[in-house]
Structure 1
Amino acid sequence: MKIGVLGTGGMAQALSGKWVARGHDVLVGGRSSERAVALAERIGARAGTLREAVAFGDVLLVAVPASAAVEAVGDARGKVVVDCTNSVAPGFLLEATAGAARLAEASGGDVVKAFNLCHVSVWGDPAPVYEGRPLGVPVCGDSPAALEVVRELVRDAGCVPVDGGGLARAALMEATAAFVIGVWKDGGQDVRAMFPALEAALG
């Protein structure tokens, strides 16, 4: 598929590099042409501006700061928009600028929240398998067709898609990211210890 990547940082490199390796046609767009060209050369993609990436992609990966997402995407009607951003304020609280639903309203695109719960180093892992299980990636969105596209991209990243519900539930994912980042960084604790196995969780 044709993927326009908005951003030139670590998330853009980690995810789009995997997708290029799986045969997807990727154009990296950035505010800095030098950074876009450098990243594109590293992963075997092409480079352009943010506007060119939006025009190019049937699918858009939003990998810019959350506060810049709406402006970077612009009009995305008819496109699948993958929002991997997190907007975490001091104290590991959720900023008011966060919101996949807000991005969907502003852009008109079929927004799917995904890839936001792990550090960039996890997405750069060639084989994200932990304790014998591939990493699960929750996806939230309202369009069945867009969700199926993003599930394919999750699998192409070496992970397993987890259905998270509609886009209204993306706010819960965004809040979860802020919470678990705080638990990891402030307390140095393993959040996996908070959740029992499925059979125990359901009684």
Structure 2
Amino acid sequence: MKIGIIGAGMMASVLAARWTTAGHEVMIGARDVGRAKALATRLGPDVPSGTLREAAVYGDAALLAIWPTGVIPALLEAGAADGTLAGRTLIDCNNPVETGSFTLTTGDISLAEQIARLAPGSRVVKAFNQCHADVWAMEPPRFDDRSLVVPIAGDDPAGKDVVSELVRDIGGEPRDIGPLHRARHLEAMAAVVIGLLYTGAPSRTVFNLVEA
């Protein structure tokens, strides 16, 4: 699969590396083309880089892995509003969390839903937002000998299939939690977890779950 990576930070770097190892082709795009080229070079000699628009239309899927406040401007620069991204799976891994009060900055409409409104015809899926980049770097991400469960939310079955494949390719277990409006629940969960982690709670004991 060809995947455009929008961003050149930690999440972009880790997921791009994992997917490249799994045999996918990636292209790095960023507003700072120098950073995009630097990341592409680290990933391999044949990994291309370019502008936000070039990466967004590179393949059938695009990962949005930039600072949450930059997502909408980046999509506009990539041509989302004119239908350029129609038919593509857009993966939103961002958490629009204000780290002073650890609350969401998006109100009643999740960032993922805002993306869907801005990019008509695209297949928006919320995924990969529940863990730090260090977890995605694990090969594979397993805890107590169990694969990491990765919740995904979206309205398009084909988009969810694409993301589920990408989850499995890094050793995770996709879990469909329902339509895109449930992305706001995933973002709210992340806000709670981030707040707890900032207070020093051990990452593995933030949620104490007991199987029935």
**TM-score, normalised to structure 1's length?**
0.93
Whether 1:41 and 2:41 are equivalent positions in the alignment is yes
Identity over aligned pairs, percent? 43
Runs of 4+ in 1 over 2 A off after TM superposition: none
Paired AA for residue 51 in structure 1: R
Cα deviations across residues 153-172 of structure 1 (Å, max 9, x unaligned)?
A: 00111111011111010000
Indicate the larger mover: 8-17 or 96-105.
96-105
Does the residue aligned with 2:128 lie in a helix, a strand or coil?
A: coil
Instruction: Report the counterpart of residue 103 of structure 1 in structure 2.
Output: 115
Instruction: Report the counterpart of residue 128 of structure 2 in structure 1.
Output: 115
Does the Cα contact within 8 Å between 1:183 and 1:191 map onto a contact in 2? yes
| Structure 1 residues 77-88: aligned runs within 5 Å | 77-88=86-97
Shift of 1:91: 1.6
Whether 1:191 and 2:201 are equivalent positions in the alignment is no
State the distance in 2 between where 1:37 and 1:99 align: 27
Root mean square deviation, CA, Å = 1.3
Q: Across the two proteins, how many residue pairs are aligned to each other?
A: 197
| Structure 1 residues 1-203: aligned runs within 5 Å | 1-44=1-44, 45-74=47-76, 75=80, 76-89=85-98, 90-96=100-106, 98-108=110-120, 109-189=122-202, 190-193=205-208, 195-197=209-211, 199=212
Cα deviations across residues 127-183 of structure 1 (Å, max 9, x unaligned)?
A: 211111011100000100000000000011111101111101000000000011112
Does the residue aligned with 2:57 lie in a helix, a strand or coil?
A: helix
Does the residue aligned with 2:171 lie in a helix, a strand or coil?
A: coil
**TM-score, normalised to structure 2's length?**
0.89
Cα deviations across residues 106-147 of structure 1 (Å, max 9, x unaligned)?
A: 112110000000111111122211111011100000100000
Does the Cα contact within 8 Å between 1:70 and 1:107 map onto a contact in 2? no
Cα deviations across residues 49-82 of structure 1 (Å, max 9, x unaligned)?
A: 1111012121010001111112212312111000
Consecutive unaligned residues in structure 2, runs of 5 or more: none
